[in-house]
Amino acid sequence: MAKVSLTVNGKNVEKDVEDRTLLVQFLREDVNLTGAHIGCDTSQCGACVVHVDGKAVKSCTMLAAQASGCEVTTIEGLSGGGDLHPVQAAFREHHGLQCGFCTPGMIMAATDIIKRHGTKLDEATVRAELEGNICRCTGYHNIVKAILDAASKMDGAAKVAAE
């Protein structure tokens, strides 16, 4: 058994778990945050993406024990308790989701993509960056649109804030 102590969505969590427990299992079963989904066994679908210390990580590729001491943000904590995060809002506005299963992972990956590329984000970059996230419902068309729109809105908001 491993003692795991970490911050999840701003709250301290401490638990004893089996050594082999994956971060995604820990979040879903021990912390009861079921927003991160498990869509594959080979770390390819991206349904499980969360942020670990501010970076997008597939939570099925990481042991819970490895996340000890880290700050984890899941889809449930993305908006920080406020209104929807701009990426969440854009997914809704542009119909970037259908069944919703890939959506938490898509949104967590998208916020990271926008953070890394900022204003330089274009369609080709978004499509290339989504390589690790599979959606079977949307054909990605509206997901790409949502991410580009969120990026431009967030950029605009950042500029306003800076002024």
* Residue numbers at the binding site for another protein (CB under 8 A): 18, 20, 28, 32-47, 58, 74-76, 78-79, 84, 88, 91-93, 95, 97-104, 107, 123, 126-128, 130-144
Which of 10, 54, 69, 100 binds ligand FES (CB under 6 A)? It is 100
* C-alpha distances in Å from residue 130, one per residue of 19, 47, 82, 96, 115: 31, 12, 27, 13, 14
Name the 3-class secondary structure at 46. coil
Choose from another protein, ligand FES, none: what does 48 bind? Cβ within 5-8 Å by kind. ligand FES
Contact region for ligand FES (CB under 6 A) — 39-47, 85-93, 116-124, 153-161? 39-47
Q: Which of 13, 87, 97, 148 binds ligand FES (CB under 6 A)?
A: 97
Structure tokens at 16: 């004893």
User: CB 36 → ligand FES: shortest distance, Å?
Assistant: 8
Question: Which three-class secondary structure state does DSSP give residue 96?
Answer: coil
* Residue with Cβ nearer ligand FES (10 or 139): 139
CA–CA separation, 14 and 5 (whole Å)? 4
Q: Smaller CB distance to another protein: residue 20 or 159?
A: 20
- Angle, nearest 10°, between helix axes 86-93 and 103-117? 120
- DSSP SS3 for 94: coil
